[in-house]
Amino acid sequence: MPKLTFPKNFIWGVAASAYQIEGAWNEDGKGVSIWDTFCHTPGKIANGETGDVAIDHYHRYKEDVALMAELGIQAYRFSVSWSRVMPEGAGTVNQKGLDFYDRLVDELLDHKIEPFANLYHFDLPQALQDRGGWPERQTAYAFADYARVVTERLSDRVHTIITHNEPWVTAAAGYFDGSHAPGIKDPLATFKAMHHLLLSHGLAAEAIRAAAKKTVKVGIVLNLNPVHPASDSRKDREAAYRMDTVLNRAMLDPLLKGTTPMQEFAVGKMLTASLIKPGDLEKIRTLDLLGVNYYTRTVVKNDPKFPVVAAVQIHPEGNEYSGMWEIYPEGLYELLMRIWKEYLTGPNPPFPPSLEGKGGAGGIGPDLMITENGVPVPDGLDFDGRVRDERRIRYLKNHIAQVQRAISDGVPVKGYFHWSLMDNFEWALGYGQRFGLVYVDFETQKRTIKDSGKWFADVIRENGFEL
Ligand code: FCB
């Protein structure tokens, strides 16, 4: 059996987010976030579930960090809850909220686990949503101030600060299809939100670098999917181009090329002049770490009925699926090669050799990492208390093999973070989808390492695995 090995300093980590695991939604001075409001609104979440308690990580973080250490996890990407730190989103700082992340960081460092702090993972303070939320430019400035507050407290020990997790999802699920908080369905608001999220990245990057006690890498994490046409017809290929523009280029172009593809859409064209102020695109293009979240690809066919993109997703027959998505490992290789060739090294125009940070890709641009990858499969405890989640192990083998393939072909991927350490609250789907390497009994909060967790621990120890 071939053995796949990884570069010497490759980082093996896990990722999670505040609202999905912490619970303690109204403790120690935390303010209300849009996810608190959304979950407390009947009909929004499967089975009326909420993250009020979630998996009680706020109280059990020591046990959870010990679990990570047991698995040999080298890095942990967690998110900071803005409303825990600034209950009204701006102004007053809640020291008790900051204290929690302080304790968490110390606990991680005590266990030799590198903290990657993520400032925003979908949970806007409700007070800012009441003033318009991400469609309002002012929210971007509030975010930069919050970034400063967190940086001042944590940057003596945290060396990577990620501004946003999946800003595309924040905008599209929050303001376009309304499946996420704040549950708005408005294409204009979506375009505005997308721009202000990107702008907030640039403003926060400035604030972080100004406040940092030591050198801090500033990153962003994007959800990216290769888009494939359902057929070879010209219409479907054009549909795929449009979907790719909205899904991938909408974020990659501003962040890495300093341009925006918004004008390619009528609604975007209409907005661009008033929305994108002089200097905005220059501010946005600043990055020391690009995190890629990869779960699936998107196959589309032309469909004029669908707003903005005139394309609709289809699910091809004959492939494997999970609780949420098609399983398509090759897409991860395709994506990494594309980012590398088109955005980090390619012409047209290449990423500038050095921005504020050193950049990791051989001095060419930002570090590149997989910051989320995982699969929801219906796990359960077997008669003997073990969780034999072979499907997850297979998924991981096949996907991590594609990362290795990209590395062998010259793409300097620096790390892989699994989503997630533990089963948790999967947004609108509630507790129905399990993504963890660790099984959680949501009644008793008992944690049990799954077979996939043991497998991942072996991979970390060996820095590789047999296919
Ligand atoms: C990503 C999110 C993460 C989790 C996984 C399954 O889009 O960043 O919070 O929900 O999907």
Dihedral sign (CA 237, 241, 243, 248)? positive
Whether 348 shows a pLDDT value over 70: the answer reads no
* pLDDT > 90 fraction of the chain, expressed in percent and rounded: 90
Ligand 1 atom at shortest distance from the alpha carbon of 17: 9
Number of residues in the chain: 467
Cα(244)–Cα(439) distance, integer angstroms: 35
Type and span of the H or E element at 69: helix 57-71
Whether 107 is in the pocket of ligand 1, judged by its Cβ within 6 Å, is no
pLDDT at 354: 40
User: 359-375 pLDDT, tens per residue?
Assistant: 433 345 799 999 999 99
- Specify whether the CB–CB gap between 423 and 409 falls below 8 A: no
Cα 20 to ligand 1 centre (Å): 9
- Specify whether the CB–CB gap between 219 and 166 falls below 8 A: no
Mean pLDDT of all residues in 187-216: 96
Q: Residue 426 catalytic? A: no
Ligand 1 atom at shortest distance from the alpha carbon of 122: 9
Cα 17 to ligand 1 centre (Å): 9
Whether 395 is in the pocket of ligand 1, judged by its Cβ within 6 Å, is no
Whether 431 is in the pocket of ligand 1, judged by its Cβ within 6 Å, is no
Whether 435 is in the pocket of ligand 1, judged by its Cβ within 6 Å, is yes
Cis amide bond preceding 420, omega within 30: yes
Angle at alpha carbon of residue 167, lines to 245 and 112, rounded to 5°: 125
Whether 31 shows a pLDDT value over 70: the answer reads yes
Inter-axis angle of helices 390-408 and 330-338, nearest 10 = 30
Q: Please name the residue that has the structure tokens 């007070």.
A: 127
Torsion of CA 119, 123, 127, 133, to 10 degrees: 90
Q: Residue 372 catalytic? A: yes
Mean pLDDT of all residues in 240-261: 95
Cα(113)–Cα(294) distance, integer angstroms: 23
- Specify whether the CB–CB gap between 301 and 239 falls below 8 A: yes
Mean pLDDT of all residues in 199-208: 97
DSSP type of residue 351: P
Beta bridge partners of 249: none
* pLDDT > 70 fraction of the chain, expressed in percent and rounded: 96
Cα 337 to ligand 1 centre (Å): 23
Whether 419 is in the pocket of ligand 1, judged by its Cβ within 6 Å, is yes
Mean pLDDT of all residues in 423-439: 98
Cα 84 to ligand 1 centre (Å): 21
pLDDT at 364: 56
Whether 223 is in the pocket of ligand 1, judged by its Cβ within 6 Å, is yes
Whether 114 is in the pocket of ligand 1, judged by its Cβ within 6 Å, is no
Phi, psi of 294 (to 5 degrees): -125, 125
User: 55-108 pLDDT, tens per residue?
Assistant: 999 999 999 999 999 999 999 999 999 999 999 999 999 999 999 999 999 999
Structural domains in the chain (count):
1
pLDDT at 308: 86
Cα(169)–Cα(338) distance, integer angstroms: 21
pLDDT at 349: 47
Whether 403 shows a pLDDT value over 60: the answer reads yes
Mean pLDDT of all residues in 415-421: 98
Q: Kindly give, in sequence order, each residue whose CB lies less than 8 Å from that of residue 43, ignoring residues fewer than 6 positions away.
A: none
Mean pLDDT of all residues in 167-181: 98
Ligand 1 atom at shortest distance from the alpha carbon of 376: 6
Beta bridge partners of 447: 440
Active-site hit among 22, 166, 334, 426: 166
Active-site hit among 107, 114, 372, 426: 372
pLDDT at 362: 39
pLDDT at 347: 55
Mean pLDDT of all residues in 422-430: 98
State the residue range of the domain holding 215.
3-466
Cα 383 to ligand 1 centre (Å): 30
- Reported as a pLDDT band with limits 50, 70 and 90, residue 266 is confident
Which residue, judged by its Cα, is nearest atom 4 of ligand 1?
Answer: 426
Please state, as a whole number, how many other Cβ atoms lie within 10 Å of the Cβ of residue 391: 17
- Reported as a pLDDT band with limits 50, 70 and 90, residue 15 is very high
Whether 423 is in the pocket of ligand 1, judged by its Cβ within 6 Å, is no
User: 153-166 pLDDT, tens per residue?
Assistant: 999 999 999 999 99
Whether 372 is in the pocket of ligand 1, judged by its Cβ within 6 Å, is yes
pLDDT at 263: 81
Nearest to 454 by CA among 57, 20, 73, 49: 73
User: To the nearest whole number, what is the mean pLDDT of the chain?
Assistant: 94
Cα(188)–Cα(132) distance, integer angstroms: 13
- Reported as a pLDDT band with limits 50, 70 and 90, residue 345 is confident
Whether 280 shows a pLDDT value over 50: the answer reads yes
DSSP per-residue codes, 267-288: HHHHHHHHHS-TTHHHHH---S
Ligand 1 atom at shortest distance from the alpha carbon of 374: 6
Residue 155: which CATH number? 3.20.20.80
- Specify whether the CB–CB gap between 453 and 461 falls below 8 A: no
Cα 445 to ligand 1 centre (Å): 21
Mean pLDDT of all residues in 179-200: 96
Burial of 348 (0-12, 13-18, 19+ CB in 10 A): exposed
